[in-house]
Amino acid sequence: MAIKKPFFICFEGVEGSGKSTQAKLLYKFIKKNITKNVILTREPGGTLFSEKIRNLMLDKKTNISPLTEFFLLMAARNEHIITKINFYLKKKFIIICDRFFYSTLAYQHYLDGMNRKFIFDIQKKIYNKVHPDVTFLIDLNKKESKIRINKRSKKTNRFDKLSNYHFNKIRNGFLKITEMYKNKIVLIKGNKSLNEIQNEINKKTLKILNARS
Ligand code: TYD
């Protein structure tokens, strides 16, 4: 398929929702079946410098204020947009990003209680014209999420041990965000099998890409 315009796809969801796995699977699917011009990236991170910020932030020993964390996230995103996302948008690539702005709303606003307008104001400064074309939001309850996280072989980070109360604040935040941006977010039930979810995402992606070309 000829991709005439860049396409920016994001994955969002609570910890253990399977979004990172699904982002990788979609990347492989697109590369094999649609175009070689596709990249997979993530937030916080995605560039050498932003990955350093990520490591600082996710370190279990890190204990910083929500505002410090917010500015670190915004610094990481600014670098990510300027040096990577904009570059590939100009090249008309398909960009798949594991977490983006809706995570900021879910974690910094709905969880940490930071002022919404303040978040939007700062975000606008760095946002420029970068908006996801579509976001796949994978929803999962706390019980399922815990089972998934316990099965993981990779190290846990400081966000993986959230209480039920905090987890639900993030989850309900994401659900409210889905309501607000209905035409931009595809809500996926994360308690289905990996294959079922993968097929759902592949089909939806093809449908949107076909409608655009
Ligand atoms: P990540 O590796 O995406 O989580 P997991 O693989 O466990 O799903 O971890 C990134 C963490 O950063 C995650 O807990 C959410 C947090 N985060 C924010 O708080 N705000 C943001 O804007 C972003 C992008 C991430």
177 in Cβ contact with 183 (< 8 Å): no
Asked if residue 104 has its Cβ within 6 Å of ligand 1, the reply is yes
* Mean pLDDT, residues 110-122 taken together: 96
Give the C-alpha separation, 150 to 211, whole Å: 40
Domain borders along the chain are 7-212
User: What is the model's pLDDT at position 128?
Assistant: 65
Distance in angstroms between the alpha carbons of the first and the last residue of the chain: 9
* Mean pLDDT, residues 76-89 taken together: 96
| CATH class of the region 7-212 | alpha beta
Asked if residue 50 has its Cβ within 6 Å of ligand 1, the reply is no
Q: How confident is the model at residue 51 (pLDDT cuts 50, 70, 90)?
A: very high
Q: How confident is the model at residue 162 (pLDDT cuts 50, 70, 90)?
A: confident
Q: pTM of the prediction? A: 0.94
Residue 155 carries which side chain, given as an amino acid letter? K
Centre of ligand 1 from the C-alpha of residue 91, in Å: 27
* Mean pLDDT, residues 102-128 taken together: 93
Asked if residue 44 has its Cβ within 6 Å of ligand 1, the reply is yes
Atom 19, ligand 1: which residue's CA is nearest? 107
Atom 10, ligand 1: which residue's CA is nearest? 44
Q: Which of 93, 78, 1, 81 is nearest to 40 (CA)?
A: 93
Residue 202 carries which side chain, given as an amino acid letter? N
